[in-house]
């Protein structure tokens, strides 16, 4: 059986086909155990080895320095919105937040329950829309902040950081004393990043890594052990790290699938290699949008996301017909988020370039017929 459609869902999102095939093949008998991987003990030696390999592969793919821990947690990125301040903000402390879209807004609102939140810049445009990332030179950073929080890829609006923030002692640089915490849910492993610029990187796995239910956290060791006394043990980075992410039963099947995705990514040549393909995919799609009279992107060119390509039909009365015809053509889940409207094509690592070519061909054909 092969896939009949291209799935542009923002998340849960498509997984690489070879990964799904391997998981299907091994479903009833994992590594000759006669059991499914989801049926074996997380403390058994086979699963422990899988777990260690998944972490080692992630470390290799992202070149994570040795003074960082990789934690597998649960609760998704939204739980981390509370877990981060509970671990890093201190009692009655404060933190800086950059607002670039719906997800960073949610993060800031949640953090405000635990301490003082300073908004370093708010990218909301005139119509209440987020369409760009404020330049670092306009951020109003506070030296007293326990950390600076960013969402480096806003899945809903389709804005994305094109590089790591600048850290240093200069006027507009983020002080090395203020760790940067980044929600990278929707672009982790899609581009090369310099992990050492960040104190903590987190996200849900359900976009570029694997199934929903698994959260990844990459945290610098010196930031571990600062949790608020009321932080639940299962959410305390120290407790999770001391127990090798097995304080409670981890999402074993999710970790298994994430491990297969890491192996797949390594076989593709790693993050730099997939980034080159992601650049080509995004260029193809934005080129088709910019080159048409029917479609438009409303995101500043320099901040456009490679992963979540948002676009609008200039004649919005055609939206329903566009989506229906797209489904008919096997191009699924292109509807934009309800807060933004329009269309969104999520083209994560697992989306082959053929999927983008098929979408572009469909868009041209639709414009010719209906535009
Ligand atoms: C950037 C970003 N942050 C946070 C979330 C929320 O993640 P979760 O549903 O895993 O809590 C999402 C989900 O789509 C997201 O895209």
Ligand 1 pocket residue status of 101, Cβ below 6 Å: no
Any idea which residues carry the catalytic annotation?
A: 103, 183, 207
CA of 12 from ligand 1 middle (Å) equals 10
Fold of 22-267: 3.40.640
- Of 205, 222, 223, nearest in space to 214 by CA: 205
Q: What is the mean pLDDT of residues 216-238?
A: 98
pLDDT tens track for 256-285:
999 999 999 999 999 999 999 999 999 999
User: Who's near 368: CB < 8 A, 6+ residues apart?
Assistant: none
Q: Is the pLDDT of residue 127 over 90?
A: no
Percent share of the chain, pLDDT over 70: 99
| pTM > 0.95 | yes
Contact assessment for residue 104 and residue 117, using Cβ atoms and an 8 Å cutoff: no
pLDDT tens track for 42-87:
999 999 999 999 999 999 999 999 999 999 999 999 999 999 999 9
How would residue 128 be classed by pLDDT, with cut points 50, 70 and 90? confident
pLDDT tens track for 4-39:
999 999 999 999 999 999 999 999 999 999 999 999
- Of 245, 197, 199, nearest in space to 221 by CA: 199
- Of 257, 250, 227, nearest in space to 239 by CA: 227
Q: Could you identify the residue written with the tokens 């074993």?
A: 252
The residues spanned by each domain of the chain are 22-267, 269-370
**Residue 200, SS3 per DSSP:** strand
Helix (H) or strand (E) holding 183: strand 180-183
**Confidence at residue 224, expressed as pLDDT on a 0 to 100 scale:** 98
**Confidence at residue 125, expressed as pLDDT on a 0 to 100 scale:** 78
**Confidence at residue 1, expressed as pLDDT on a 0 to 100 scale:** 61
Q: Just give the CATH number of 269-370.
A: 3.90.1150.10
Is 22-267's fold the same as 269-370's? Answer: no
Ligand 1 pocket residue status of 147, Cβ below 6 Å: no
């Amino acid at each position: 059986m092969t896939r009949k459609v291209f799935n542009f869902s923002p998340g849960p999102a498509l997984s690489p086909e070879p990964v799904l095939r391997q998981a299907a093949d091994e479903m009833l008998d994992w590594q000759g155990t006669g059991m499914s991987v989801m049926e074996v003990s997380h403390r058994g030696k086979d699963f422990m080895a899988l777990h260690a390999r998944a972490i080692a592969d992630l470390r290799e793919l992202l070149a994570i320095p040795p003074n960082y821990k990789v934690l597998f947690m649960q609760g998704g990125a939204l739980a981390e919105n509370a877990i981060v301040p509970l671990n890093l903000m201190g009692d009655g402390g404060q933190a800086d937040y950059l607002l670039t879209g719906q997800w960073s807004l949610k993060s800031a609102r949640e953090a405000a329950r635990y301490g003082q939140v300073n908004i370093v810049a708010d990218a909301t445009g005139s119509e209440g829309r987020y369409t760009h990332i404020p330049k670092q030179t306009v951020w109003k950073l506070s030296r007293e902040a326990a950390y600076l929080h960013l969402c480096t890829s806003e899945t809903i609006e389709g804005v994305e950081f094109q590089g790591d923030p600048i850290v240093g002692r200069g006027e507009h640089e983020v002080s090395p004393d203020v760790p940067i915490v980044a929600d990278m849910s929707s672009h982790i492993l899609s581009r090369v990043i310099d992990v050492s610029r960040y104190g903590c990187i987190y996200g849900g796995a359900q976009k570029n890594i694997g199934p929903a239910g698994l959260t990844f956290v990459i945290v610098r060791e010196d930031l571990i052990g600062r949790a608020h006394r009321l932080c639940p043990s299962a959410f305390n980075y120290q407790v999770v790290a001391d127990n090798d992410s097995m304080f409670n039963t981890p999402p074993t099947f999710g970790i298994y699938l994430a491990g297969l995705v890491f192996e797949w990514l390594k076989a593709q040549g790693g993050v730099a290699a997939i980034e080159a393909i992601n650049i080509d995919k995004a260029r193809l799609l934005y080129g088709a949008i910019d080159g048409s009279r029917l479609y438009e992107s409303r995101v500043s060119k320099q901040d456009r996301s490679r992963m979540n390509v948002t676009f609008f039909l200039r004649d919005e009365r055609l939206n329903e017909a566009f989506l229906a015809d797209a489904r008919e053509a096997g191009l699924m889940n292109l509807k934009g988020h309800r807060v933004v409207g329009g269309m969104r094509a999520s083209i994560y690592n697992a989306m082959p370039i053929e999927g983008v070519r098929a979408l572009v061909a469909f868009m041209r054909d639709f414009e010719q017929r209906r535009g």
